[in-house]
Each structure stands twice: as C-alpha cells, then as structure tokens.
Amino acid sequence: MYLKKTFAGILLPSLLLLTAAVVFPAAAQDKPEARRTYSGTVRDEDGTPLFGAAVLIGSTREGVTTDLDGRYSISAAPGALLRFSSLGYLEQQARAGDDPVINMVLPLDRQALDEVVVIGYGSASRKLVSSSIASVRMDEVDRGAAYDPIKALQGHATGVSITSASGTPGSRPNVIIRGVSSISGGSAPLYVVDGIPAEQYPTLNNEDIERIEVLKDASATAIYGSRGNAGVILITTKSGQRGATRIDASVKTGLSQVAHDVPMANTEEYIRTMTEAIDNYNLQKLEVRSLYIPPEPADFDWVGAISRKWAKTSSASVSLSGGSDKFTFYVSGGMDAQEGYIRNTAWHQYTGRAKFSYKVAPWLAFNLNSSLTWSRQDKAEETSTSLKVLRTAREEQPWYTPYREDGSYMIMTTTGLVRHNPVMLINEEKWWVNTGRLATTVSLDFTPLKGLKYTPSISGYGILDLSTKRLTENHNARALNAGWGAITEGKNHSFRYVFDNILSYEGSAGALRYSAMAGHSWESYAYEQFGFMSSNYANEAYPSSSLGLVTSGAEIFPDSVNYAAYALESWFARAMMNWDDRYILNLSIRSDGTTRFPKESRFGTFPAASLAWFASNEKWFPKNPVLTELKIRLSAGQTGSMAGIGNWAAMSLISAGSSYNGSSAFTVGTPASNLKWEKSTKYDAGADFGLWNDRLTLTADAFYSITNDMLYSKPVLAATGMNTVSANIGSADNLGAEFAVNARILDGPVKWTLGANVSWVRSRLLSLLDGSDAIIVTGSGSNLLGGNANHILQNGQPISSWYMYRFEGIYQRDEDVPAPLYAKGVRAGDCIYFDRDGNDDIDENDRILCGKATPDWFGGLSTNLSWKGLALDVFCTYSVGNNLLASWKGVNGKEGCEHLGIATTTVNVSGKGEVTQYFNVSKAVANGYWRGEGTSNTIPRPVLSGAHTGYDYDYNVLPSTRYLEDASYFRVKTVTLSYSLPQQLLKRIGVKGLKAYLTVDNALCFTKYDGFDPEASYESNPSHRHYGVDFGLSPTMRTFLLGAQFKF
C-alpha cells in the first residue's frame, strides 16, 4: 500500500509538471506597445538546454524562466538589457536588439561548484572549511587507462601517496595518507561511498563519480572516530539535476604494452655465462665439471610465449539523468575490460547505478541510491611463490621450446626443463573470480522546520565472491599429487548493513552562522567463506564443468571455510560556527563501541577541533589586487584504529574444526587479550592563499601526528605456550608538510593552467618493546621475496626501514679478500660487503639500516593548454626517497634472474641421463658480469654453488643493497590531446556535445630502477616484511587510448 502510494506520488507530480511547462506559455506582458517579443534557448557550454534559468529585464525583478527545453519568450523594450542566470552558472547579459531570437550559453561557475565540499555526514562551504581536506572533481582528472577511481587520484591530492603495486588486472593500489602511523593497524584508509563505509576497496564505475574528498587531519577524520587513523576517502557519485533529461556516453579503447622490459639472455649469452660459471668453479675447486648443451639448441623467448605483446583495454559508459523541482534521477551503466600482460589474465567489470530523489512534500524527501557491480578477474599463478609463471618463464633455459616433437609438453626435470613449463602452467589452468556487489541506501530527508533536518537511512551492502580454479590432467606441476584439486570452488559472501540517524540544524544569529549535527550509527558486518576442492572424477569427466561430477564423497576436501563478524555502534556530534565569515570554529566528537574489544573498554571517544581565520575578510585587511584571499587554519584531535585486532580478540576461545582419527576435536585458542583502541593525536596548521582573484591559489599545510597504544603482536616467551600476544605497546609519529599551487596563467582565448603539489612526510617509530630498541622483522618469508629478515623496526626510524648488508663493490684481486672470507671461498669477482664489526668476516652482525620503502617526497604536476575546442593535458607524478628490493633478481635464494650460476636443477635428458642444468639470467648480467680486474664493480663473477661455504645460499646473493635500488621516479603519467567539436557541426548530427581524445597513459618514466616499475610492492602494508619488495609481478603497462565523450 505504502509502496503504491509512493510510486504514484513520484509519477503524478512529474507528469503534471511536464504538462504545465508545455501548456502555459511565459507570462504575458502589460505594455505591449513599446515592446517586442524576444525568444530563444538557454544552454550550458555542452549545449544542454537549461531548465528554470531566469531571464530578467535590466535590474528589475521582471522576467520569465525557461521551460524544460530551455526555451523562453519575453516581451521587452528594444535596447533593454537581458540578464540570463541559473544556479551554478555564471550570469550572462545580452542587449535586446533587432533580432528577435536571442540564444544564450551560460558557462559553468566553477567556483560555485567548488563552493561545497563533502565532509563526513554532511557538506560545507569550501571557503569556510577549517580542516584539511583534499577535494578532487573526477571530471577534471585525466584518468588515463585506469578503471579504478582511486588510482586516478594519484598525484592529485596532497599528502596522499598512491602506488600501483603491480599491473595484474584487478589489482588494487597501495594508498597511504600522511605517512605510516601503525604497524598492525594497517595504513589503508577508510573508504566511504555516498556516506556508507565500505568494508573493502570499492569497485565503482569511474564515470559515476562526481568527486572524491580525502579527509586528512583529525578535525576532518575524527567524525569517523575509530576508523579515522589512516585517513578517510569520501567518494560521492553523480546525482540527477533538475532540467532537461541528458544522456552522457563515453567510450574508450586502447592497447597496452610493457613500458620497461627486463630482457633475458639469449642462448648464446646464456651458454657463455654458464660456461664461465663452471670454469670459475673448476678453477677454484679443482674439479672437472662441464656444461651440457643440447645437440640442437633453439633460441626461445619463454616470456614472449606467455605474455601479450599488446593487451587490449576498453571502457564504455552511458548515463541518463535529469529531473524536475520534485524529482531527480541518475541512471547509468558501464563496462570496463582490461587484458593483462600475462596471457589469460583479464579484468571485466560491469556496473549499474540508479539514484532517485523525490520530494514528497516541502518537508520530506525520499532518496534511493542503488548500485550493482559484477566483475570477473581471470587470474594466473603469478603471485604464488611456488608456480610464479612470469619468473618461471624468465628463468627457463632458452635452448628449449615448450613442446616435444610429439606435441606433448616439455616437463620439468623429467624431460629437461629446469622449471615448470610456463606454457603448460598457463594453458592447463583456468582460474577466475566472479564478484557481485550490491549496495543500496534508502534515506529520508525530513525538514519540519526551517534549518532543521532529520535524516534516517538504512543501507545494505552485499558482496558475493565466486572463485573457480580448474586444472587439467596435463598440468604436470599439480596433477600428479594426491589431493591436487582438479577443481576448487569458493563461494564467499559478506553482508554489511548500516543504520544511521542524523539530526542537523542550521541557523544564524546576527553575524554568527552555525550548524549542528548529531547522530547515531549502527553497523554490522559478517563474512562467510565456503570453499571446497576435489580431484576425483568419474568417467574421465575432467576438466570438469562442476563439482556435481565428483563421485566419491571421500575425495571432497574443504578448502577455505571461515566466518568473521563484527559490529560497531557509534554516537557522534559536530558543531560548526562561523562569525562573520572571519572566524570559523568546528568541534566534533565521536564515541565508538566495537565487538572486538572487551566489554569494559569497548567504547572509545574521539574529539577534534579546528579553527580558521579568514584574514582577508577582516575590515582592516588591505584591499590589494595581489593577495585577495588569505585563510589560516589550525586543527587538533584524536582518531583511532581497530584494524589491527582480530574479530574475536576479546574472547578466550576453544576452537572446533580439527579432528583426530575421525573424531572431532577441540583446541585451545589464544586467551582473551585486554586491548583498547590504538589512538592517534593529530595536529595540522595550514593556510590558503588566493592571489589576483584566485588566478593563483596556494595551499600549504604542516602536520604532526603521534600514535600511542599502538597495537602490536608482542613476542613473548615460548614457554607461555604463545609466541606473540597482541598488546597496546608502541608509539610512532609522523611529521609532514604539503604544498599545492594552481595557476591560471593564460585566461584569454588560449587558456593555460598549471598545477603542482608536493608532500613531504617523515615517519618514525618512537617506541615498541621494553628494553629493546630494534626488532628485526622476521617470519616465514620465502627467500623468493628476499628472505625473511630484511626489514627492521627500530626506534627513531621509519616503520618500513630496510636492514641488510651494504654492498660496496667487487673484489678486483684475490689479495684484497680478507683471510676469513678467503677461507670461505670468496675470490676476486665476488661481492664486497661492509664489515660493520671489523672482524674481516661477513656474518649476520654486519647487517645495517639501509633506507626505507616509503618515500620522503611525492606529488604531482599537471598542465592544461587549450584553444577553442582543442586541449592538451599533461599530468606527471613523482616520488623521491624510497628504496625497493628487487627480489626477482634472486636475493638470498637459488632462484632469480641474476643468480649467475647457483640456480640449478638436475634433469633427465634423453640419451644422456641425469645432468645439471642452469636457470637463465637477465641479459644485463649476462653481458655485464665481472670478468677480470677492472671489468665491473657492480655485478659479481659467475660461479657455481659450492664455491662459497658458510652461507645459507651463497655469499654473493646475501640480502644486500646490491638488490636494494633507488625507486625514486618522475613519471609522465598521462598525455592527452582532445578536441571538442564545435556546436554548429554537432547540431547537424543531433549531438549536443562530442569530445574526442587520444591519451598515452604511463607515457614515460624517469627512474634508476631497472625492473618493470619502481612502484612495485608485494605487500600493501608498510610494516609488512614484504613491503617494497618487487617479486616480479605483471608490470603496469603503457597504454595508448582513443576515446570519445558524447552528450545528447
């Protein structure tokens, strides 16, 4: 019943409105004799008719408004001045003359649009915001090839470091706002889409996004209390505007290639290098080993066999929007498809959104916002440390090809290959993840009194993950194992609902304008994982289409089965006071209670305050044409983090799930820990300058934050039965500065704008464990990722600090080698490491601090040059001061592109039996290794394993700064040339706007790093032992795009 009424309520007024606009012409005028009738159409710059625009005569209030098609008709005396205006557009004037038709184009008032900034649980006038918020309108950002809106933020917002850890389709960027302030608490910000906090990184249609706000200081983030520590990213999607219905469509398509390749040695170079390694070994160990070379060596490009030379990418999106005084709507659909570098990998994303708002009565509005996303990620085994197809392909012997004469695969060990055949790995496995996301928010805006607003809302957010992996029996790397999982399926789902009640009031008293907001929020989240696998099929049915073909019950194994849940209850309030646009005070407080903490310490309170002084609005402020605006801001406050705590940390649990001899079993879990919130206290001081009437704007901020009660898994004596216990023990701080400048250099027919920003952050760990000022970050890290102890947590140093041997060159003569090392087999051509303790030997004690994985400086640079419809946009990003560990080269292990003789496998060669064969090496080392005094001081000699003793793997591959490279870069991220077709031309084809463009994404990168990309990282959390490690994943590619945007 209620539903019916609502629908009728929406439809009827819309229809009435439509009829009224068509039937009743503009009001008749009373003095026809002296007047003539002028008529025309008012449009925006894109040619869209503007509904409800005012056409006024002179300075009077006499006038008419435009209809749905933007048409007007007015009676005015010739020579009268007509003023055309509409909210959000700059007013234009025209003199009534002989021509009875006056068409008008109203340019967008960009300042007015920027006026409003979205803040947590509300919005505020930009000029009057007293906290530190970076605001980016997505239409103004050249997104290049990114289908991901957050990636497009890179370099546009100060204080926000965004890096693409890999080019794997569907991978997420690493986002750090204002430095690293936590170890366990994570450094990923909270994402809030249209007011609803997202559990994970959002998947959205780029074209749907109106704007993104990054909340940085405590005053802005404290309203999100317990999740504000790492900053908050607010994403606002587009809404319908009243006026004629408009259709926006965009398409783009492009091709991507590797921007900076890592070429491998060809057969000749490979043979030369390995021969040298064997010769060096024989000479040193007085042995007579020799290199086996197949009778007819081929020269095969293994990486080429599993990768795409050109990967396709394309996007399309269409939206329909519009509305009347009572009803607005926005409906859109989008599609993104991106192929990955590795064959078979791809990302497909389909999005739909519907957003309605209906004014039921002057005091009540009803809003609905619903979005559905479906994505499909086709994956390959590239991140796994066991199969790792890209590394495997690099290191395969170039003298073999993937197939034998009978068409079967070459197989590792048994038929000669040193690594699993990467072509087989790619061809014999299909692995994909389908993800569906449905988010819906229903809210009411209830405005019973002027200034008072009550908004209850309920939103639900469901995610369904369906993953399938299928292997065929030809997958030699897996199919021979019992329980190998010919088919693995996972069906995981999560659901979150949020119930908000927000009451706000806006009012004024004299020169004081104020607003107050108070609210309550209840959030509940649950995640269930259900996965199983099998390798047993009836009737040779595999590769099977489904688990339905599995016959024997005993052969079905659980894969991932899990349940997680938490709930959060919050109370919050904010007051904003503005005295005469000169003094602005903002106070907020939030209290959060979570199920992750014990009852007694469940609630945490997070207050914040900020003050802004609009100096240029003071009467005494000298009116001058140069400094036209000056605002000074100060803020302080507290935020928290609960990310570092398990869902059940507050409980002592007995876990089920294990069994013994067929009977179910209980094991004793970790006892409840008495934890509380990790809290950050943040300070910010900033100033906004406007020069020459905002022709040049400058924003500068300095900040300091200190995190206390930092959550950390504290190591405890093993005899307690535990190895670590979560505790609130550490503290860390961040000091930083941000500076952004935007200039309209040329403002005439040729327009030229320039924007630049720079951020500097210094992060430090202040304290962690009692009685110890450093912990080497250990764990079960694979040596493929550089070993397990390359990071250190040291007081006074950044959380991502590196800790390893310092490489100091190559011994050029045997006489230079100290005796203890000589005894271990070190000779001329081997590495020199810094001998910290001066004992002439190299051991664990010689490791030292070696820089960090997070940058000191980063930012962006953008410029736009336009003339008439033609525009050139160039956007650059840069990062300075971070080091990256190139583990793909082979750090502290026997594999890798720069092993120079230690990576071997004993393989079977037909007619020969077992022989030792060697992994391939990169072209760079094959041609650059040390081959006698003075030949190289950077790349050691090739020599087989066993020449050096006393080290886990080999002396030359010790984790050292030889692999730790300067990852500073300056990147020309996007270059776009666009052309907006002139209106006259468009009219003929019935299109209101058409812009065509050519873009090169990731055009150029200036860096010393010699891997694929200096932004690479295996892990996203800076405190993780594999952060800043380049494992050798798919590269971020260079993309050439052709696109067009239409308006109908």
Partner 1 sequence: MKRLLFLIAATALLGLTACSKMLDAVAPRHAITTDKVGENDLGKLTSGVLYTMEGFVNSGWFDGDLMGENFTNGPGGGKVDDVTLMTPSTSFVESRWKNAFTSLRQVNELLASARSASASPTAENALKTGYFCRALIYFGLTTRWGAAPVLEKTTNEEVPLTQAEGLYAFMLSDLAEALKHPASKTGFFYVGDDAVNALMAKVYLWSGDAAKAAEYAEKVITSGSYAMEKTSEDLAKTWCFGTASKEIVFALANQRTDSQITLHTSVNDTDGSWNYRIPYPTAETPDVKDLFSSLFADVAGLKTGDIRKSVVESEAAKNRILKFPNGNDTMDQFVTNDNPLQSPLVVIRVSEMYLVKAEALGNTPEGHAALEAFLMNRYGMASVPATLSDKAWTDLLLDEYRREFYAEGHRWFDIKRLGRLDQLETLAGRDYLMRWPIPQGQIDLLKDKGAYPQNPGYTVTKP
One of 594, 697, 968, 999 touching partner 1 (CB under 8 A): 594
Provide the token pair at 75.
């009676």
* 750: β partners: 867
Q: Does 8 bind partner 1 (CB under 8 A)?
A: no
One of 4, 31, 61, 599 touching partner 1 (CB under 8 A): 599
The residues in 666-725 that bind partner 1, with binding defined as CB under 8 A, are 666-669, 671, 715-723
Residue 510 CA, distance from chain mean position: 46
Instruction: Please say which residue, 94 or 364, places its beta carbon nearer to partner 1.
Output: 364
The residues in 262-291 that bind partner 1, with binding defined as CB under 8 A, are 287, 289-290
The residues in 102-141 that bind partner 1, with binding defined as CB under 8 A, are none
Q: Kindly state the smallest distance separating residue 951's Cβ from partner 1, in Å.
A: 7
End-to-end CA distance of the chain: 37
Q: Does 361 bind partner 1 (CB under 8 A)?
A: yes
Residue 397 CA, distance from chain mean position: 37
Instruction: Please say which residue, 606 or 953, places its beta carbon nearer to partner 1.
Output: 953
Instruction: Please say which residue, 916 or 935, places its beta carbon nearer to partner 1.
Output: 916
Please say whether the beta carbons of 728 and 709 come within 8 A. Answer: yes
Prior bond to 543 cis, omega within 30? yes
The residues in 999-1018 that bind partner 1, with binding defined as CB under 8 A, are none
Instruction: Please say which residue, 505 or 1046, places its beta carbon nearer to partner 1.
Output: 505
Cα–Cα dist 890/905, whole Å: 16
One of 674, 916, 936, 983 touching partner 1 (CB under 8 A): 916
Q: Kindly state the smallest distance separating residue 501's Cβ from partner 1, in Å.
A: 5
The residues in 832-851 that bind partner 1, with binding defined as CB under 8 A, are 843-845, 847
Which range binds partner 1 by CB under 8 A, 466-474, 593-601, 731-739, 753-761? 593-601
Cα–Cα dist 164/586, whole Å: 36
Q: If you ran DSSP here, which 8-state letter would residue 258 be given?
A: E
The residues in 884-903 that bind partner 1, with binding defined as CB under 8 A, are 894
Which range binds partner 1 by CB under 8 A, 427-435, 559-567, 858-866, 918-926? 559-567
Instruction: Please say which residue, 72 or 566, places its beta carbon nearer to partner 1.
Output: 566
SS3 803: strand
Instruction: Please say which residue, 350 or 530, places its beta carbon nearer to partner 1.
Output: 530
Instruction: Please say which residue, 722 or 972, places its beta carbon nearer to partner 1.
Output: 722
Q: Does 563 bind partner 1 (CB under 8 A)?
A: yes
Cα–Cα dist 1023/184, whole Å: 8
Please say whether the beta carbons of 1036 and 892 come within 8 A. Answer: no
Q: Kindly state the smallest distance separating residue 839's Cβ from partner 1, in Å.
A: 11
Cα–Cα dist 86/108, whole Å: 10
Which range binds partner 1 by CB under 8 A, 148-156, 265-273, 472-480, 993-1001? 472-480
The residues in 68-97 that bind partner 1, with binding defined as CB under 8 A, are none
Which range binds partner 1 by CB under 8 A, 15-23, 199-207, 336-344, 558-566? 558-566
Cα–Cα dist 292/917, whole Å: 7
Mask for 772-791, x = binds partner 1 (CB under 8 A): x-x-x-x---------x---
Q: Kindly state the smallest distance separating residue 1020's Cβ from partner 1, in Å.
A: 25
Cα–Cα dist 1012/257, whole Å: 12
Instruction: Please say which residue, 61 or 599, places its beta carbon nearer to partner 1.
Output: 599
Residue 838's alpha-carbon distances to 1, 670, 1038, in angstroms, are 86, 44, 47
Q: Name the residue type at position 344.
A: N
Residue 438's alpha-carbon distances to 206, 210, 234, 273, 493, in angstroms, are 17, 20, 19, 56, 11
Q: Does 950 bind partner 1 (CB under 8 A)?
A: yes
Q: How many CA atoms lie within 13 A of 456 on its CB side?
A: 1
Q: Kindly state the smallest distance separating residue 902's Cβ from partner 1, in Å.
A: 11
Mask for 380-419, x = binds partner 1 (CB under 8 A): --------------------------------xxx-----
Cα–Cα dist 923/405, whole Å: 29
The residues in 616-675 that bind partner 1, with binding defined as CB under 8 A, are 647-648, 651-669, 671
What is the DSSP annotation of 470-519? EE-TT-TTTTTSTT--SEEEEEEEEEEEEEEEEEEEEEEETTEEEEEEEE
Mask for 213-232, x = binds partner 1 (CB under 8 A): --------------------
Q: For residue 391, what is the enclosing H or E element?
A: helix 389-395
One of 567, 698, 991, 1044 touching partner 1 (CB under 8 A): 567
Instruction: Please say which residue, 534 or 1017, places its beta carbon nearer to partner 1.
Output: 534
SS3 72: strand
One of 7, 310, 403, 557 touching partner 1 (CB under 8 A): 557
The residues in 483-512 that bind partner 1, with binding defined as CB under 8 A, are 483, 499, 501
Cα–Cα dist 954/873, whole Å: 50
Instruction: Please say which residue, 514 or 951, places its beta carbon nearer to partner 1.
Output: 951
Instruction: Please say which residue, 2 or 24, places its beta carbon nearer to partner 1.
Output: 2
Q: Kindly state the smallest distance separating residue 307's Cβ from partner 1, in Å.
A: 23
Provide the token pair at 725.
């216990």
Look up tokens 């990309």; give the residue: 1013
Residue 221 CA, distance from chain mean position: 19
508 burial type by CB count under 10 A (0-12 exposed, 13-18 middle, 19+ buried): exposed
How many chain residues interact with partner 1 (CB under 8 A)? 92
Q: Does 600 bind partner 1 (CB under 8 A)?
A: no
Q: Kindly state the smallest distance separating residue 516's Cβ from partner 1, in Å.
A: 18
Handedness of CA 21, 25, 30, 31 (dihedral sign): positive
